[in-house]
Amino acid sequence: MDIRSQISMVFHLDKCIGCHTCSIACKNIWTDRKGTEYMWWNNVETKPGTGFPTKWEDQEKYKGGWELKKGKVVLKSTNKVKTVTNIFHNPNMPTMDDYYEPWEYDYKELFNSKESDDQPTAKPVSMVTGEYIDIKAGPNWDDDLSGSPIYARNDINLENLTPEQKKQMFEIERLVMFYLPRICNHCLNPACVASCPSGALYKRGEDGIVLLDQKRCRAWRACISACPYKKTYYNWSSGKSEKCILCFPRVETGQAPACFHSCVGRIRYLGVLLYDADKIEEIASLPDEKLVEAHRSIILDPFDEKVISEAKRNGIADSTIDAAQKSPVYNFVVKWGLALPPHIEYRTLPMLFYVPPLLPVMSAQDGDTVKNINNEFFPDFEKARVPMKYMANLFSAGNESFIRYTLEKQTAVRAYRRAVTVGDIDMKDAEKALLKADCSKEEAEAIYKSTSLSTFEERFVIPASHREQAIEMYEDPLKLKQETGFGFKDKPKRGL
């Protein structure tokens, strides 16, 4: 056993309102520099939709993540030989066209334009070339299902849905959607790290944050195609790749990452998980249908005496073990089984988990109106507006039973709390629902509290980082704003 600790995350999708506050918080701190304008380390996409960069989930196109070859887990995009032969030209590399060309507006037109019959407009200017451009796409062009014939209908997760299920989704096209906020998953088996020819990418031993060493990166760009979530980005100006750093300077000082801190829907949870690093390869090599369960099993019970003593033996601080015991992530993922990993079939073992949204819409089109097809409080999930198959493609490698489990439990908790507070549901029925959903009353209370009432300190349980000296690297954090941000003190001058 080789116990390590990992800062992990849960996003409760039922609570996300799609406001993009998280994305803006991140952009203002980290990606307001030249060459990073197009990057969204945190982005929020509308599902169904093709996301950012467009169709990022299509691994036939991008070749991200891992695959099984003769029972061994290997990178899809590269290997030792291909690293040499493809280094000059990476055949799977997404380009700016797959993201978007960043722009700003030429506001002086509004003041300087000559008098005429029309209102002056602020013309868009490319932030790359400085020329006027025609905007064709942006990072959230398909927000709230806009342009869904091009975007939503091309969502890769719709692939193996029956025509009926597809029809069901698009019947009331404008009603069915949810938001998927995404950051780097700080994976246990990161494809980005494994692909980097220079060894610039690494996982921090003590908290599992995956970072990209700017001084070691040589722009070989292997990580850009290897990360199946497209969460490493290439800075075209500095000639270095960059990625989400989970705001480690904030985490090290006990603050939640900016996107977590600012989240309006309070959908985000952050906490420590203890896991057994010896098992990573074995689990990543299992067949698709076993992955969700196995991924969960790598996470260890922080209350188990044996786990605690092994963890201590491995140099894990008492404060970290304490944080692991209070971790909301442990509750959502392991104890309650509510949160699931995104696209586990990419085999990077992501450490960001999603609670799938309940989506109250349980209705069908009836002529010109919408009628409620489900009057019972415990609905038939087979008829859910978003087919379970779709959710399963996103969150459980196609296995619907995990989706059903979390949706049933969430519904039961609601019914139970409604019986408690409003009383228009019979407590007996609510208890029956809880029983069916594998949930005790205490658990229901705990889920309710954690979902609806939890405070800052309960949502973000951040252990002391014990990195006291490391902080000295960052002299004055604001000195290099809009240049390097935090980090080493050289100005990031482009290599000649």
Partner 1 sequence: MDQFNEIINTFFFIILPYLSIFTFLLVSIYRYRSRSFVYSSLSSQFLENRQHFWGMVPFHYGILTILAGHLVWFLFPKTTLLWNSVPLRLYIMEVSVFIFGLITFTGLINIIIRRRSDKKTRVITTTTDWIVLILLTIQIISGLYVAFFYRWGSSWFASSMSPYLHSIFKFNPDLAFISSMPFMVKLHIISAFSIILLFPFTRLVHVLVVPNPYLWRKPQVVRWNWDRKKIRDIENNSI
* Mutual angle of helices 400-421 and 441-448, in 10-degree steps: 90
Burial class (CB in 10 A: 0-12, 13-18, 19+), 162: exposed
21 makes contact with ligand SF4 (CB under 6 A): yes
Q: How many other C-beta atoms can be found within 10 angstroms of the C-beta atom of residue 104? A: 12
Tell me the residue length of the chain: 496
* Span near partner 1 by CB under 8 A; candidates 57-65, 177-185, 354-362, 484-492: 484-492
95 makes contact with partner 1 (CB under 8 A): yes
In the bound state with ligand SF4, the residue whose beta carbon lies nearer, of 246 and 307, is 246
Q: CA-CA distance, 94 to 290, in Å (whole number)?
A: 31
20 makes contact with ligand SF4 (CB under 6 A): yes
What is the nearest approach in angstroms of partner 1 to the Cβ of residue 9?
A: 20
Which token pair is 296? 């969960």
Position of minimal CB gap to ligand HEM = 87
37 makes contact with partner 1 (CB under 8 A): no
Q: In whole angstroms, how far apart are CA 297 and each of 139, 277, 281, 331, 335?
A: 36, 12, 13, 14, 11
Residue 496 interacts, among ligand HEM, ligand SF4, partner 1, none and using kind-specific CB cut-offs from 5 to 8 Å, with partner 1
Q: In whole angstroms, how far apart are CA 67 and each of 93, 192, 298, 399?
A: 18, 14, 20, 18
Report the site for partner 1 in 390-419 (rule: CB under 8 A): none
At position 268, the amino acid (one-letter code) is: R
**Could you give the angle at the alpha carbon of 324 between the alpha carbons of 8 and 210, nearest 5°?**
30
What is the nearest approach in angstroms of ligand HEM to the Cβ of residue 89?
A: 7
In the bound state with ligand SF4, the residue whose beta carbon lies nearer, of 55 and 243, is 243
Provide CB contacts within 8 A for 450, sequence distance 6+.
269, 328, 331, 332, 458
Phi, psi of 84 (to 5 degrees): -75, -45
In the bound state with ligand HEM, the residue whose beta carbon lies nearer, of 87 and 150, is 87
Q: How many other C-beta atoms can be found within 10 angstroms of the C-beta atom of residue 410? A: 22
Report the site for ligand HEM in 220-239 (rule: CB under 6 A): 220
Q: Which of 146, 297, 314, 363 binds partner 1 (CB under 8 A)?
A: 314
Q: Which of 70, 80, 81, 88 binds ligand HEM (CB under 6 A)?
A: 88
The 346-375 contact track toward ligand SF4, x by CB under 6 A, reads --x---------------------------
Q: Which of 27, 243, 343, 417 binds ligand SF4 (CB under 6 A)?
A: 243
Task: Kindly write down the DSSP assignment for every residue of 68-121, as one continuous string.
Answer: EETTEEEESS--HHHHHHTSSS-TT---GGGS---EEEETHHHHHSPP-SS---
234 makes contact with partner 1 (CB under 8 A): yes
Which token pair is 252? 């090290």
96 makes contact with partner 1 (CB under 8 A): yes
**For residue 270, what is the DSSP state?**
E
**For residue 356, what is the DSSP state?**
-
What is the nearest approach in angstroms of ligand HEM to the Cβ of residue 240?
A: 13
* Span near ligand SF4 by CB under 6 A; candidates 263-271, 275-283, 419-427, 462-470: 263-271
Residue 267 interacts, among ligand HEM, partner 1, ligand SF4, none and using kind-specific CB cut-offs from 5 to 8 Å, with ligand SF4
191 makes contact with ligand SF4 (CB under 6 A): yes
What is the nearest approach in angstroms of partner 1 to the Cβ of residue 35?
A: 9
Residue 214 interacts, among ligand HEM, partner 1, ligand SF4, none and using kind-specific CB cut-offs from 5 to 8 Å, with partner 1
What is the nearest approach in angstroms of partner 1 to the Cβ of residue 135?
A: 16
Q: Which of 68, 74, 87, 161 binds ligand HEM (CB under 6 A)?
A: 87
* Span near ligand SF4 by CB under 6 A; candidates 13-21, 32-40, 160-168, 368-376: 13-21
Q: Which of 17, 84, 96, 135 binds ligand SF4 (CB under 6 A)?
A: 17
SS3 of residue 444 by DSSP: helix
In the bound state with partner 1, the residue whose beta carbon lies nearer, of 436 and 466, is 466
93 makes contact with ligand HEM (CB under 6 A): no
Please compute, for residue 269, the number of CA atoms within 13 A of its CA located in the half-sphere on the CB side: 30
At position 206, the amino acid (one-letter code) is: E
At position 321, the amino acid (one-letter code) is: I
Q: CA-CA distance, 166 to 325, in Å (whole number)?
A: 42
Residue 423 interacts, among ligand SF4, ligand HEM, partner 1, none and using kind-specific CB cut-offs from 5 to 8 Å, with none
Quote the radius of gyration of the chain (alpha carbons, Å).
Answer: 23
Burial class (CB in 10 A: 0-12, 13-18, 19+), 188: buried
Q: CA-CA distance, 23 to 424, in Å (whole number)?
A: 40
Do 295 and 395 touch, CB atoms closer than 8 A?
no
What is the nearest approach in angstroms of ligand SF4 to the Cβ of residue 424?
A: 29
215 makes contact with partner 1 (CB under 8 A): yes
Q: How many other C-beta atoms can be found within 10 angstroms of the C-beta atom of residue 359? A: 17
- Give the binding site for ligand SF4 (CB under 6 A): 16-22, 44, 179, 181, 184-187, 190-192, 210, 227, 229, 231-232, 243, 263-265, 267, 348
- Give the binding site for ligand HEM (CB under 6 A): 87-88, 220
- Give the binding site for partner 1 (CB under 8 A): 75, 80, 83-84, 87-90, 93, 95-96, 128-131, 189-190, 193-194, 196-199, 201-206, 214-221, 224, 234, 236-240, 280, 313-315, 466-467, 470, 488, 490, 492-496
